Amino acid sequence: MDNPRANIENLIMEGDLEGLLKGAAEIHGHYCPGLAIGVKAAYIACKRLDIIHSDGMEKIMAVTECNNCSVDGIQYVSGCTLGNNALIYKDLGKTAFTFYKRGGKTGLRLVAKSFSDGSDDPLEKEADALFDKAVKRREELTPEESRRFKKLWEIRSHRVLNAPEDKIFSIETVDEPDVEYAPIYNSIRCSVCGENVMETRVRMKDEKPVCIPCAGEEYRMIVGRGIRNA
């Protein structure tokens, strides 16, 4: 089989940030400045650390300190995803990312700066006002406002891509502690619901293996707020 990431790697090598944003939007579902920040951060890291050829086998790791829109840009461009265990999520609420190679000496940490703060550009102000209405207050936009919001969000995304790196990020080299490779565990059948469960998540009830919900235990999940108990 061909390298499944060949297209993405070509876009990185050619410096085609617009192409990368388009690809990332295929999984993200919309164009937004957050997505553009993730795309740009991963692009800068891939270039500087020479980690373009990520193989999805945890040789290259990405650490995200947030779970906002930008993470889809990180996953798409760097190839480090939740599913291939090369994406580590720290629930710190900072739009900050660290990339490193396993066995490498240092990682690169990029922290996003506030992009539109202090801007008196009327387009930025209009975009912020529509964002507050639609996202912060969850109010319905008129069809016209909705079209306008999409357009402004797209414009801002492109501004992020085209801005100088130091306007969008502060960038530093850091020592990022390596994490273990993802272990492989056996599956065990829950004696109540019959579903298969990774063995480290099996509980014993009346001397029989059960899954966490069947045991009635609390578990944790990632939601918009971060990692929470269910």
Task: Please identify which residue in 13, 174, 193, 204 interacts with Zn ion, judged by CB under 5 A.
Answer: 193
Q: Which of 156, 177, 22 is nearest to 103 (CA)?
A: 177
> Does 192 contact Zn ion by CB under 5 A?
yes
Query: Which range, of 25-33, 112-120, 129-137, 168-176, touches Zn ion by CB under 5 A?
Result: 25-33
**Contact pattern from residue 194 through residue 223 relative to Zn ion, giving x for each residue in contact according to CB under 5 A and a dash for the rest:** -----------------x--x---------
DSSP H stretches of helix in 89-211: 122-131, 143-162, 165-168
Span near Zn ion by CB under 5 A; candidates 18-26, 43-51, 61-69, 79-87: 61-69
Q: What are phi and psi of 46, to 5 degrees?
A: -60, -40
Task: Establish if 190 lies at the interface with Zn ion (CB under 5 A).
Answer: yes
Residues 49 and 77: beta-carbon distance below 8 Å: no
Q: Which of 32, 52, 152, 202 binds Zn ion (CB under 5 A)?
A: 32
- Nearest distance from residue 225's CB to Zn ion, in Å? 17
CA 150 – CA 152 distance, rounded (Å): 6
Query: Please, which residues have CB within 8 angstroms of residue 196's CB and are 6 or more apart in sequence?
Result: 187, 188, 189, 190
Residue 69 contacts Zn ion per CB under 5 A: yes
Nearest Cα neighbor of 12 from 99, 94, 93 is: 99
- Give the Cβ contact number of residue 114 at 10 Å: 9
Least CB distance from residue 69 to Zn ion, whole Å?
3
Q: How many residues does the chain have?
A: 230
One symbol per residue from 124 to 153: x for binding Zn ion (CB under 5 A), - otherwise; what is it? ------------------------------
Question: What's the chain's Rg over C-alpha atoms?
Answer: 21
Size of the site for Zn ion (CB under 5 A): 9
Span from 30-38, 49-57, 112-120, 165-173 in contact with Zn ion (CB under 5 A): 30-38
Residue 170: its H or E element: strand 169-174
CB of 114 to Zn ion, least distance (A): 17
227 binds Zn ion (CB under 5 A): no
168 binds Zn ion (CB under 5 A): no
Q: Where does this chain bind Zn ion (CB under 5 A)?
A: 32, 34-35, 69, 190, 192-193, 211, 214
